[in-house]
Amino acid sequence: MTKLVQTLVDGLGVGSTYALLALGISLIFGVMHLVNFAHGELITVGAYVSYFFFLNGGSWWWMPVAIIASAALASVATEAVAFRWVRQASPFTMLLTSFAIERLSHALWQIFVSPKQRAFPKPAWVFDQFGLGGVSIEVMDVVTIGVTAATLAVTALVFSRTLFGISVRGAAEDFDAARLMGIRANRVISGAFAFAGLLAGVAACLILMRNPSAEPAMGADWLLKAVVAAVIGGLGSFTGAVVGGLALGLLETLTRAYLPDIATGWDRFSTAIVYIAIAAFFIIRPQGAFKVASAERV
Amino acid sequence: MEPLVRRLGRSTAASSILLAVVFALSLAYTSTGGGARQYLVAEMLTNFILALGMQVFIGNTGVLSFGHMAFAQIASYATALVVIPVAAKATSLPDIPFGLGEVEVGPVTATLVALAVTIAIGAAFGVAVCRASGLAPTMITLAALFVVDQVVKNWEELTRGAGGLTGVPILGGNGVLWLGAFIALVVAHQFQESRIGRFAAATRDDELAAPALGISLFTSRYAAWMVSIGLIALGGALRAQSLGTVNPKQFTLDAGILVLAMVVVGGMRTVSGTVLGTIVITVGNEVFRQLGDPQRLGIERFPDLFLGGVMLAVMLARPGGILGDLDVAAVLRRRMRWRADSSPDRAGSTTADEAVLSADGVIVRFGGFTALDGARIAVRPGEVVGLIGPNGAGKTTLFNVITGLVEETDGRVQLGDVDLSDASPVAVARAGLGRTFQNLRLFANLSVRDNVAVTAMVAARHRPQRPTPDPDELLEAVGLADRADRRADALDYGSQRRLELARAAALAPLYLLLDEPTSGMSDAESLEMVTAVRSIAQRVGAGVLVIDHDLGFITTISDHIVVLNEGRVLAEGTPDAVRADPAVAAAYLGSRG
């Protein structure tokens, strides 16, 4: 029982980070049908920003603001520099463009900073634990889940109550119709990138508090998981991204924790089994868990 | 369809030209430096095979795969496991399963074993990849890459884990690699020239229009997948024997993206483009790797700068790749134009088929909205029926129900005695209904002629009871013969509409279904369209069901008109009778006045 609770808390912790990233990917896909493989680089941006600030006497009290702001700025910048110019191109071209940016980001951090990992201090309380009904829980787990829940609540509010949020949802459903209603394409798309950047910034804070270091290719693994989560949920679906992220996090931690009990000797294949499960899911439900109505006319 | 021998000859010729250029370049390169330069040539040759393998699938179907490297990995390990000497295996892999410890075969047998194993696994896997649509195939292949990677890294008795296998007997010289590259070139060219390859290209350009013209997405993709996996396996097997080692680092996602860049940078739609891309990326990658060397800049991933820069530049400036549609094979095809001679069966009369196309009591509900509420329509052979009605009357929905794109809530669609109510778009097209789309859906990257020719191939294959229309004659009939070699998307709007008409007619259909053929046209163009539709329909002996808002056009062309309003038939009869009907005037004509 203790183990189960512990595993679930871990799973939700990892999963909520995936969810925040997946939400950004899904949001951008919604407005311009781009699967943004450069999205993970926003974490890297946040990491290097923290590293530079800590070199000059930074503090975790205000670092999250710097991380989130830099991620949002970087996100908007990639749109203005690259994605805006391929907006009319095929999804394939856009996806490869995002790949190119990801590669360039890896290379530039290596050239201008260092190929090696750069560490900076972590918040003092991160690995503190407290007991709750016989289960010992890390402070960081609570922070992760709490911050994610709050962020998601704000996101839900933005997309249901603000003009910006409604414009973005409208654009996601039918971009041409949204434009006819007087919504400005550039502004909606920039806004979506900014918001996706904010979400990635929050995710970056959670990741960096646990593992305070910067490395050129650190975003790649997170990105892949987040893309998988977003597609599992159904690209373009906000609920789907959250559910997909949490499901992926839980699936990972549960297989790692319980597979050895079920089949001895198979624990070394736990990651492989997670991916087999994912492949099986896509075979059964190619459109993801939450199907998104597309406005394509015949 | 052009005879196989001619196509094979052209594939071989195009492959020889490309390989001769590559050979000259590498000769110039190796003769000016030390023996070490042979290694880069060897790397480039294996890259050719891998990149062409990827191009056959990705380039022809437009479906992105991250998983191809997984199959190269399976092939490399399979080769290594059977070709490494028994004595070496006894020490390096003491617990090797399946009795592989006793196995030691020559390089040819090992390559064949690797091909067989990889193709068998790929065949099963391909079913899942090719059945899915949208992004799912890409995700499935990505998952495959990770599964294979994890299994290889953790199944240490068989693979020695992350360290990999060493001691694979190395092939002497690059001769075998040149042969492999030549085989890959011929196979990739030949696939593109084949019927199924042309079908795959059509599905790449429009996932919806291709099935509506009788092209199966699954069959064409699966064929591309199998050929592609075969080449990838060859590349993997040869690479293992060229390097002498096999390890998981050779098959990471990054390694796959490098090969993917080779395919897209030069131009993924053509073999020539992939060849150029492979040269550019292999050479550039090596140059940057040397610059990033510990003795120089000391930046291990310096090649990423090159890769990212080149990909970004190409995507922004020339998304179709550096060469775009420039292709040695295409040049040869234009030079050696082939035309089928009018054999007796082609000239055979258009048999008077008495199959009536009818839809009855069709009801379609989208959520709470009833788009069709018991609509019916019938078209007799050779007849032209116009379908009119205000916007939202359900005209296009009725078309989509008839052609299998929209599932009806209730009702029947019949072609003679054949029930088409639950038939897929592919089956409907093969049964003899050829359609056009309200918002043009041409195969944009194919030539004007190929748009029509690819459909004629469907007709030749699946509609043998009817004479297969000659693509050039159809283009002549719609006035596009002089622009047959242009890209379809380079035509002006009116011409694109006429091309779509010719393409639908190339199916040798019993009925042509035309969705707003004059939409966006001037009055003069509409009149031309009347002539074009009549001459085309007569030529292939098809009846016509046509939706249009241009009343001048519809009353001139139709023998019979059906007026649809709010999902129901409001009136029908001769053009004059319909025009005189007061209910029609109120619902439709009145609103325009």
Using one digit for the tens of pLDDT, what is the confidence trace for A33-74?
A: 899 999 999 999 999 999 999 998 888 889 999 999 999 999
Residue A287 has pLDDT above 80, yes or no: no
For a pLDDT cut of 90, what percent of chain B falls above it? 71
Instruction: Please state the rounded mean pLDDT for residues A16-27.
Output: 95
Nearest residue on chain B to A97, alpha-carbon basis: B312
Contact between B304 and A103 using a beta-carbon 8 Å cutoff? yes
Least CA distance to B208: which residue of chain A? Answer: A298
Cα gap B479→B483, rounded to integer Å: 9
Flag whether residue A286 sits within 8 Å of chain B, measured between CB atoms: yes
Give the model confidence (pLDDT) of B106-139 as tens digits.
Answer: 999 999 999 999 999 999 999 999 988 778 899 8
**Higher pLDDT residue, A184 or B279?**
B279
Residue A200 has pLDDT above 90, yes or no: yes
> Given this model, what pLDDT does residue B32 score?
86
Give contacts of A275 with chain B, Cβ < 8 Å: 143-144, 146-147, 150
Beta-strand relationship, A213-214 and A129-132: unpaired
**pLDDT band (50, 70, 90) for residue B341:** low
Would you mind telling me the total number of residues written for chain A in this entry?
298
Our measurement of the distance from residue B27's CA atom to the centroid of its chain's CA atoms, rounded to an integer in Å, reads 36
C-alpha distance from B24 to closest chain A C-alpha (Å):
31
Share of chain B above pLDDT 70, in %: 96
Note which residues in 332-391 of chain B have CB less than 8 A from chain A: none
Q: Give the residue from chain A lying closest to B311, CA to CA.
A: A100
Structure tokens at B435: 């359609």
> A80-88 long-range contacts, Cβ below 8 Å, gap at least 24?
A80/A190, A82/B312, A82/B316, A83/A32, A83/A34, A83/A36, A83/A189, A83/A193, A84/A186, A84/A189, A85/B316, A86/B315, A86/B316, A86/B319, A87/A32, A87/A189
Condensed to tens digits (0 to 9), the pLDDT of residues B449-477 reads: 999 999 999 999 999 989 999 999 999 99
Q: Is the pLDDT of residue B344 over 60?
A: no
Predicted confidence (pLDDT) at residue B592 exceeds the cutoff of 80:
no
Query: Burial, B104: exposed, middle or buried (Cβ in 10 Å; 0-12, 13-18, 19+)?
Result: middle
Contact B316 A224 (CB under 8 A): no
Give buried/exposed letters for A159-182 (b at 16+ CB in 10 A, else e): beeeebbebbbbbbebbeebeeee
Residues of A in contact with B311 (CB under 8 A): 96-97, 99-100, 103
**Contact B304/A272, CB-based, under 8 Å?**
no
Per-residue pLDDT band at B435 (split at 50, 70, 90): very high
Are the CB atoms for A41 and A74 separated by under 8 Å? yes
CB-CB under 8 Å, B151 with A269: yes
Instruction: Return the structure tokens found at B532.
Output: 């074009």
The average pLDDT across B172-184 equals: 93
The answer for B408, left when phi > 0, alpha when psi is -120 to 50, beta otherwise, is beta
Percent of all residues in chain A with a pLDDT value above 90, rounded to a whole number = 51
Average pLDDT, chain B: 91
For A196, the token pair is: 């996706």
How confident is the model at residue A297, as a pLDDT? 54
Higher pLDDT, B335 or A95: A95
Gap from B315 CA to chain A (nearest CA, Å): 6
CB A98 within 8 A of CB A38: yes
The more confident residue out of B253 and B593 is: B253
Q: Is the pLDDT of residue A143 over 80?
A: yes
The answer to whether A235 and B135 are in contact (CB under 8 A) is yes
**Does the distance separating the beta carbons of B139 and A228 come in below 8 Å?**
yes
| pLDDT reading at A162 higher than 50 | yes
Please determine, for residue A188, whether its predicted confidence score (pLDDT) is greater than 60: yes
Among A97, A274, A282, the residue to mutate for chain B (most B Cβ within 10 A): A282
Res B343 pLDDT > 90: no
Mean pLDDT for chain A overall: 88
Residue A84, classified by CB atoms within 10 Å of its CB into exposed (0-12), middle (13-18) or buried (19+), is middle
Number of Cβ atoms within 10 Å of the Cβ of B582 = 10
Please determine, for residue A291, whether its predicted confidence score (pLDDT) is greater than 70: no
Q: Which residue has the tokens 């090649």?
A: B303
Task: Provide CB contacts within 8 A for B553, sequence distance 6+.
Answer: B518, B526, B527, B529, B530
Tell me the C-alpha distance between B404 and B402, whole Å.
6
Confidence of residue A144 (pLDDT cuts 50, 70, 90): very high
The answer on pLDDT for A180 being more than 80 is: no
Nearest CA distance, A108 vs chain B (angstrom): 7
Q: Which pLDDT score, from 0 to 100, does residue B593 have?
A: 39
Residue B130: its H or E element: helix B107-131
Task: pLDDT band for A168, please (50, 70, 90 cuts).
Answer: confident
Note the residue count of chain B: 593
pLDDT confidence of B589, banded at 50, 70, 90? Answer: low
Q: Give strand pairing partners of B569.
A: B564
**Residue A29 amino acid letter:** F
Please name the amino acid found at residue A275. Answer: Y
Q: Which residue of A has its CA nearest to B161?
A: A268
- Shortest distance between the Cα of B54 and any Cα of chain A, in A, equals 15
* Mean pLDDT across B37-65: 95
Q: How far, CA to CA in Å, does B302 sit from each of B149, B192, B278, B283, B307?
A: 24, 36, 19, 14, 9
Q: Which of A243-252, A267-276, B489-498, B502-511 has the lowest mean pLDDT?
A: A267-276
- Best of B73, B129, B135 to substitute, by most chain A Cβ atoms within 10 angstroms, is B135
**d(C-alpha A209, C-alpha A64), whole Å:** 10
- A104/B312 CB distance under 8 A: yes
Among partner residues B150, B297, B319, which is closest to A272 by beta-carbon distance?
B150
CB contact under 8 A, A228 and B437: no
Average pLDDT over residues B309-331: 91
Q: How far apart are CA A223 and CA A37, in angstroms?
A: 7
Residue B435, H or E segment: strand B433-435
